[in-house]
Amino acid sequence: MNERLLELAHKRGRLSAKIQAQREALARDSWPLATTLGAADTGAQGLRWLREHPGTVGAGLAFSFILRPKRVFRWLRRGYFGWKTYVALRQRLNDLSQRSRG
């Protein structure tokens, strides 16, 4: 009986190790999906904010109509390039921090 229990314990240990290896492989191979779902979550949060703050959005639109359209587009362009610079810098910093970790 003891021999049977010992054999089952060894089998359980091998299966646990195999399961752990499969979990690690799944986590390693699914990072593109996690990145995509993270971006979708960010977009959903933005839409939620727009729904919860209609007055702010309306005031921004009214203010943009009061100003000359040329000036509004200039500020939009500046904001867009600033945002793109921020995203690129954040991505590079994330890459550097992941490289330094291992």
- Please give the full DSSP string across 1-35, using - where no structure is assigned: -HHHHHHHHHHHHHHHHHHHHHHHHHHHHTHHHHH
How far apart, in Å, are the Cα atoms of 41 and each of 33, 35, 50, 60?
12, 10, 14, 24
Domain carrying residue 19: 1-39
Report yes or no on 58 lying in a domain: no
Report yes or no on 98 lying in a domain: yes
pLDDT digits (tens, 9 = 90+) for 53-92: 989 888 888 887 887 778 888 888 999 999 999 999 999 8
Report yes or no on 76 lying in a domain: yes
In which band, very low, low, confident or very high, does the pLDDT at 102 lie, cut at 50, 70 and 90? low
Report yes or no on 57 lying in a domain: no
Q: Looking at the 3D structure of the chain, how many domains does it have?
A: 2
pTM of the entire predicted model: 0.42
Q: How many CA atoms are closer than 13 Å to the CA of 88, on its beta-carbon side?
A: 6
Report yes or no on 63 lying in a domain: no
Rounded-to-integer distance, Cα 56 and Cα 75, Å? 18
Report yes or no on 72 lying in a domain: yes
